Amino acid sequence: MKLLITGGAGFIGSNFIIYMLNKYPGYRIVNVDALTYAGNLESLTSVENHPNYTFVKADITDKDVMDTVFEQGVDVVVNFAAESHVDRSILEPEAFVRTNVLGTQVLLNAAKRSGVKKFIQVSTDEVYGTLGETGLFTEETPLAPNSPYSASKASGDLLVRAYHETFGLPVNITRCSNNYGSYQFPEKLIPLMIANALCDKPLPLYGDGLQIRDWLHVEDHCSAIDLVIHEGVTGEVYNIGGNNERSNVHIVKTILEQLGKPESLIKYVEDRLGHDRRYGIDATKITTELGWKPKHTFETGINETIDWYLNNRTWWERIQSGAYQTYYEQQYGKR
């Protein structure tokens, strides 16, 4: 089996490559990544010399390069490549449309031409919009994205659907909740708060901090995608969630407690524009139809994740300079 993984130098993609090469050392993996600010090959040092792993630095919107990559033979595509941070999409939406919409279409076309066995689009629960205090997103929930990020992901999903309906491309779309775990870029809630707490810097928390997210351990997400590759019914959408709804303030307090830092480090900042209040995933379909079961509980997963950032300071400290620093200052002011 030859897998084309796009965005494999990012948080989930790098975890997925490591997961797959450990589980299926005979599979060949080609990682195509443009190495934007969010791509980091240091996350893949454990597999960089694996005989079945190849890295190609390329942009998924580059049609000629993508056609060449597919001409080498690809069985399954897993499209992780994306601009993924909601705050950045509010500041600069263009890059989101380019990568998440146009990039997806370029990949779909190359996949159609080369006749792949499966195209998996890694999407997000954010395409469903926001929930009130009750209810969960199912695969039938209408798309109602609220941010430029989620709108671009929903647009990518619709193109994936259209390539299935129009051209019969064998596709699956997976929509997951917030991932956490190792190698997550420290602009996202959990690594940002851990890194700031470790440096005794203020922890910027949006609005009242009572926004609710469902948290999914990245390894559980990887095992779900593995199942969808092998067992997913063509054309189907699968929601993937951790059944771990927590408010942002709860997450931040958990981190502070685990690190033995005071709650006075929390700094409430003006809320994100159009901030969705609550996401919650109903993962019944993938659980009952494909037999997926998450391994991690949130309580052990979050503590292991905090330990990982404690033990891998060099990894995130290197990132916290240069381009990331400029963005951070624009977003939250000088530290």
Contact residues: ligand NAD, CB under 6 A: 6-7, 9-13, 33-36, 38-39, 59-61, 80-84, 99, 103, 122, 124, 153, 176, 178-179, 185
Judged on CB neighbours under 10 Å (0-12, 13-18, 19+), 99 is: buried
Give Dmax (Cα) for the chain.
57
- In sequence order, the β-bridge partners of residue 29 are 3, 53
**C-alpha distances in angstroms, 31 versus 10, 112, 265, 325?**
11, 19, 39, 27
Rounded to the nearest whole angstrom, what is the least distance from the CB of residue 60 to ligand NAD in the complex? 4
Rounded to the nearest whole angstrom, what is the least distance from the CB of residue 31 to ligand NAD in the complex? 9
Rounded to the nearest whole angstrom, what is the least distance from the CB of residue 43 to ligand NAD in the complex? 9
Categorise residue 31: left if φ over 0, alpha if ψ from -120 to 50, beta otherwise. beta
Would residue 149 show up in a list of annotated catalytic residues for this protein?
yes
Rounded to the nearest whole angstrom, what is the least distance from the CB of residue 268 to ligand NAD in the complex? 23
**Of the two residues 154 and 261, which places its CB atom closer to ligand NAD in the complex?**
154
Rounded to the nearest whole angstrom, what is the least distance from the CB of residue 285 to ligand NAD in the complex? 17
**Of the two residues 84 and 196, which places its CB atom closer to ligand NAD in the complex?**
84
The catalytically annotated residue of 33, 125, 157, 220 is 125
Would residue 125 show up in a list of annotated catalytic residues for this protein?
yes
How remote is the C-alpha of 242 from its chain's centroid? Answer: 14
Residues 6+ apart with CB under 8 A from 59: 34, 65, 99, 103
The catalytically annotated residue of 19, 149, 163, 238 is 149
**Of the two residues 21 and 261, which places its CB atom closer to ligand NAD in the complex?**
21
**Of the two residues 147 and 261, which places its CB atom closer to ligand NAD in the complex?**
147
Look-up of token digits 């159609």: 112
- Please give the Cα distance from 99 to 249 (Å, whole number): 32
Would residue 187 show up in a list of annotated catalytic residues for this protein?
no
**C-alpha distances in angstroms, 216 versus 103, 114, 125?**
26, 33, 12
The catalytically annotated residue of 126, 214, 220, 245 is 126
Rounded to the nearest whole angstrom, what is the least distance from the CB of residue 264 to ligand NAD in the complex? 28
Q: List the alpha helices (DSSP H) in 75-204.
A: 86-91, 94-96, 104-114, 148-167, 189-198
Beta strands 245-247; 2-6: pairing state = unpaired
Residues 6+ apart with CB under 8 A from 328: 187, 320, 335
Rounded to the nearest whole angstrom, what is the least distance from the CB of residue 40 to ligand NAD in the complex? 7
**Of the two residues 116 and 127, which places its CB atom closer to ligand NAD in the complex?**
127
Q: What type of residue is 274? A: G
* CA quadruple 287, 292, 293, 296: dihedral sign: negative
Point out the residue whose Cβ comes nearest to ligand NAD: 10
**Of the two residues 97 and 265, which places its CB atom closer to ligand NAD in the complex?**
97
**Of the two residues 13 and 204, which places its CB atom closer to ligand NAD in the complex?**
13
| C-alpha closest to that of 284 among 178, 119, 137 | 137
* Catalytic (active-site) positions: 125-126, 149
